[in-house]
Structure 1
Amino acid sequence: MSNSSQTPDLAQQLTQIADVSIDHEISFAELTTLHLGGRPRLAVRCATPAAVVAALQLLDRRGVPTLVVGGGSNLLIADGELDLVAVIIECADVMVDVATGLLRAEAGAVWDEVVELSVDSGLGGLECLSGIPGSAGATPVQNVGAYGVEIADVLTRVRLYDRQSGQDHWVPVADLELAYRYSNLKFTGRAVVLEIELQLRVDGLSAPLRFGQLTRALELSETGEHRPAADVRAEVLRLRRSKGMVLEPDDVDTWSAGSFFTNPVVSGTLAEQVRTQVAAERGAEDAAKMPCFPAGEGTFKLSAAWLIDRAGFERGYPGENAPARLSTKHTLALTNRGSATTAELVDLARTIRDGVQHRFGVQLVPEPVWVGVSLD
């Protein structure tokens, strides 16, 4: 543990850095979309990439535990006082070249505002990622994706601050080893994203549309079609709102970390066992609708939301008086109803995970980054 008696001296040194300010009062409940989490030792607001680098260099040199925070949409943080410094990335400049389709966004830019700007600028490629909460800097860390599109599809390179070497440099997307909801940055803290660069379509058309729910909503005749990016964005936002997946400050049904569990990738044998069990319990017609997609090397991706529902956890579980419960719109979102603690949300997550494991033998893995708390 670090020595909290050094905090005044540390704060004084941090304030000497250009574009850095100190917030002694804010809690993680104010910095996360779950509205959960205790109070950091200090909160350091950084308005430029250079400020982020300088603040982290000082903190790392002093051996101070840190947590880098952008939009706070993928964080589950312990209750109480936390012996760490929150480094809040607030640099948010965005550059768009409509002629080439090149877009650069600093890490603190609000992600949906980046998507909106790209569409309004006549560029395509990001529309399926509309409505996702959080900041631009978080998108490559877990290879954000939705409706059949991932950030990996358009990401060209990332500006990183390497906390081990002290280097601030651009790296090609190949260096991140992007996969389903994964990069080699995730859970490591080895480097911090300062800026991202995307290559978008200049014809104003969407990415190829392949996700079933979206293609049906747009009444496409076949998968892989393109539509005007603005039309696709509007439909994606409509679909996400119907599931409570667009953050609304006054709607506690959206106080979540989005999809709480990743879609599990399982063997073909296990996938068939799940289908057989559902057929026996709910009928062949329901089993035939089980989402199941090839994931390579004899594996298949199942729907976590579908499994949660078939394991007996309905929307709104465990009931209207529970401070932490499943969204009333979508079983994949665990929500804070306004008075929950982190411990209560963790208990709910554990119940859901263990219930699916017991029912189907499938282990669900959480998406959020856990800080000071564990599911086990």
Structure 2
Amino acid sequence: MTANISFAQITTMGVGGYIADFREPMTRVDVIECVEEADSKHIPLCIVGGGSNILASSAEFNGMVVRDARRLISVLDEAAPVRDEHDRTVHVQAEAGCNFDDFVAQTVELNLEGLEGLSGIPGTVGASVVQNIGAYGQEVATSVTSVEVWDRQTKQSYELKHDDLQFGYRDSLLKRSMFAGPGQPAAPFHPSPRYVVLSVTFALKHSTDGTVGHAQLARALNVEQGSRMPIAAIRSAVLKVRGMKCMLEDAMRYRDPAMEATKKPANVELAVQMQQRQMQELLSADEVMADAEATAVGQSLLLDRHSCGSFFTNPIVTPEESKRLPADAPQFRGELSDGSEGVKTSAAWLIDHAGFHKGYAVSDDARASLSTRHTLALTNRGAATSDDLITLARTVRDGVREQFGITLVPEPVFVGCTLD
């Protein structure tokens, strides 16, 4: 048990109160025993990874927070070129506590295709499958073959195969086990899933090249969408695009004692150096900026990273509902929760066109605002409380609903607080 740890120290948003009981189990058995202890005592349990998808109350959390300290990555097949070009599959297993970008970096180093588009997404491998993270034409579900879990209801561990996981857009069976519906927490498991992830097995392809599967990424690489490029180049481009939008986490957080050892030290230093270069690149866009102004802008850009990334998921509506959207609203094919055909639109577009532009805050002295680089990120501008973020999120959600008749659903897990 570690004392005097707060959610503010272990989340990318930097918001949240002190934790009564913080555990970092080092073995598989210890993870299960921590979960069982909390459940047997009927105290709130929060499984946390990198803290990149959590908005926690600023009040004390009178429960147990478990952060898996196991970070082993194992190549289950020989990751060497094979003679049979039709079967280049390599299975790689990662323990749930492994930093997700550390994992992506290692797969790229091994010339394993399949996750390079997910570079820079914060959090852990365990959390990645709960949320079914995705970006730039890839999502975790495409590469996952199985997940080993501890079932808090049956008190057993077992392997869930890909189809068992029921992946959907930013969704999975794991995530739904703690919600009654989109954004509706449900007892008895919330704020953690019924199924606690222990390890994840991925099927990747041995290849030095990957597919550029997203238009924005293709523009950054100056190639056609669908082109094949070295996966190392794709990873670098993703990191640059995300960084220039300030949609990477603040790399300096890993120098805080509460986050030490959660990411490989060498990768921390690389991330810090890249962050500094990107900040300088953004600042150099205006060469006549005075020193004092540059300092203020630089601090603002850093605070843009104090978020949990995309705060709202992109809505998927029925074809009939999509007809009520403005003609210039983005529309893509999507799938509704019942499996029927739907239309996905852009939450960022809706937010901006409802009048909530980059940098929007509810007042001049507000401690929370939309990012100055991206309308989909809600940011802590310094000493923000959970109430500050809730007020901002509620204002944006209600404004979009009034303007377009669509209720945005938050992406982060709320711990000890609610948007309603």
What TM-score, normalized to structure 2?
Answer: 0.78
In structure 2, the residue matched to 1:111 is 100
> 1:309-359, CA deviations, whole angstroms, 9 ceiling, x for partnerless residues?
111111111276421000111000000112100110010000110111111
Match of 2:313 among 258, 262, 266: 262
State the distance in 1 between where 2:346 and 2:242 align.
16
Query: Does the 8 Å CA contact 1:125/1:205 hold for their aligned counterparts?
Result: no
Structure 1: 5+ residue runs without aligned partners?
Answer: 1-21, 277-286
Aligned to 2:20, the other structure's residue is in SS state strand
Judged with a 3 Å threshold, the aligned counterparts in structure 2 of structure 1 residues 298 and 44 are, in CA distance, closer, same or farther, namely closer
Report the AA paired with residue 4 of structure 2.
E
> Identity percentage over the alignment?
43
Deviation at 1:62, TM superposition (A): 2.4
Deviation at 1:249, TM superposition (A): 4.3
Structure 2: 5+ residue runs without aligned partners?
Answer: 81-88, 179-192, 253-301
Deviation at 1:253, TM superposition (A): 1.0
- Map 1:182-331 to 2 at 5 A: 182-186=171-175, 188=178, 189-206=193-210, 208-221=211-224, 223-249=225-251, 251-276=302-327, 287=328, 290-296=329-335, 297-318=340-361, 321-331=365-375
Report the AA paired with residue 314 of structure 1.
H
In structure 1, the residue matched to 2:417 is 373
Report the AA paired with residue 18 of structure 2.
R
In structure 2, the residue matched to 1:167 is 156
> 1:223-271, CA deviations, whole angstroms, 9 ceiling, x for partnerless residues?
4332211111111111101111111145221111111000001123333
In structure 1, the residue matched to 2:147 is 158
What TM-score, normalized to structure 1?
Answer: 0.87
In structure 1, the residue matched to 2:376 is 332
Q: Number of aligned residue pairs: give it.
A: 341
1:80 counterpart = 2:59: yes
Aligned to 1:139, the other structure's residue is in SS state helix
Report the AA paired with residue 6 of structure 2.
S
> 1:90-146, CA deviations, whole angstroms, 9 ceiling, x for partnerless residues?
111111342352211111111111101110111111010000011110011011111
Query: Does the 8 Å CA contact 2:366/2:388 hold for their aligned counterparts?
Result: no
State the distance in 1 between where 2:28 and 2:228 align.
36
In structure 1, the residue matched to 2:17 is 38
State the distance in 2 between where 1:63 and 1:358 align.
40
Query: Does the 8 Å CA contact 2:17/2:56 hold for their aligned counterparts?
Result: yes
Query: Does the 8 Å CA contact 2:150/2:198 hold for their aligned counterparts?
Result: yes
State the distance in 2 between where 1:275 and 1:211 align.
24
150-159 vs 81-90, greater mean Cα deviation: 81-90
